[in-house]
């Protein structure tokens, strides 16, 4: 068993092949298969069609597998509507208020209500 920075790098033999093993196998076999297909006269750009078809099938299967059920969709919709209704209810003021009369509202422009000073106005004649 090899350990690097406390991470065990041992592999359980019961797990089968890992993704690295499969990538190595594909990297070793694919040039042989490619050479055999090219020697039969198939143009190289046609290999991309195979990847394109596999990608399309993969997207179709993922969409089919992870689509929500009718029950999940209905429950998510009801939860969203309930959240929107609660948010709208919280934003509705119970009575008219203004920054001056509302004790919870901060004074405008950073003025602290407890340190209000009397303002004096000098009139010059």
| Model pLDDT for residues 27-63, shown as the tens digit of each residue | 999 889 888 888 998 887 887 888 899 999 999 999 9
Q: Is residue 112 part of a domain?
A: no
The pLDDT tens digits for 56-81 are: 999 999 999 999 899 999 999 999 99
Is the residue at 122 inside a domain? no
Partners of 4 in the beta sheet? Answer: 7
- Tell me if residue 1 falls in helix, strand or coil: coil
38 in any annotated domain:
no
Q: Is residue 55 part of a domain?
A: yes
Q: How many separate domains does the chain show?
A: 1
Cα(3)–Cα(22) distance, integer angstroms: 23
Dihedral sign from CA coordinates of 67, 70, 73, 79: negative
Residue 3 has a pLDDT of: 45
Q: Does residue 82 lie in a domain region?
A: yes
Residue 50 belongs to domain spanning: 44-91
**C-alpha dist (Å) from residue 86 to 77, 81, 82, 91:** 14, 9, 6, 9
Query: Is residue 71 in some structural domain?
Result: yes
Q: Write down the pLDDT at residue 62.
A: 95
Sequence length of the chain is: 125
Overall pTM surpassing 0.85 (yes/no):
no
Burial class (CB in 10 A: 0-12, 13-18, 19+), 37: middle
What is the CB neighbour count within 10 angstroms for residue 11?
14
Task: Encode pLDDT of 105-118 as tens digits.
Answer: 555 555 555 555 55
Report if residue 18 sits inside a domain: no
Position 101 pLDDT exceeds 60: no
């Amino acid at each position: 068993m090899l350990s690097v920075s406390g991470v065990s790098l041992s592999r359980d033999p019961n797990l089968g092949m890992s993704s690295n093993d499969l990538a190595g196998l594909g990297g070793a076999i694919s040039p042989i298969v490619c050479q055999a297909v090219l020697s039969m006269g198939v143009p190289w750009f046609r290999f991309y069609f195979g990847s394109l078809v596999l990608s399309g099938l993969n997207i179709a299967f993922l969409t089919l597998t992870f689509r929500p059920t009718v029950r999940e969709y209905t429950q998510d919709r009801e939860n969203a509507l309930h959240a929107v209704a609660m948010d709208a209810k919280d934003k509705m003021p119970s009575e008219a208020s203004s920054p001056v009369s509302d004790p919870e509202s901060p004074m405008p422009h950073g003025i602290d209500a407890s340190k209000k000073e009397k303002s004096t106005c000098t009139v010059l004649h």
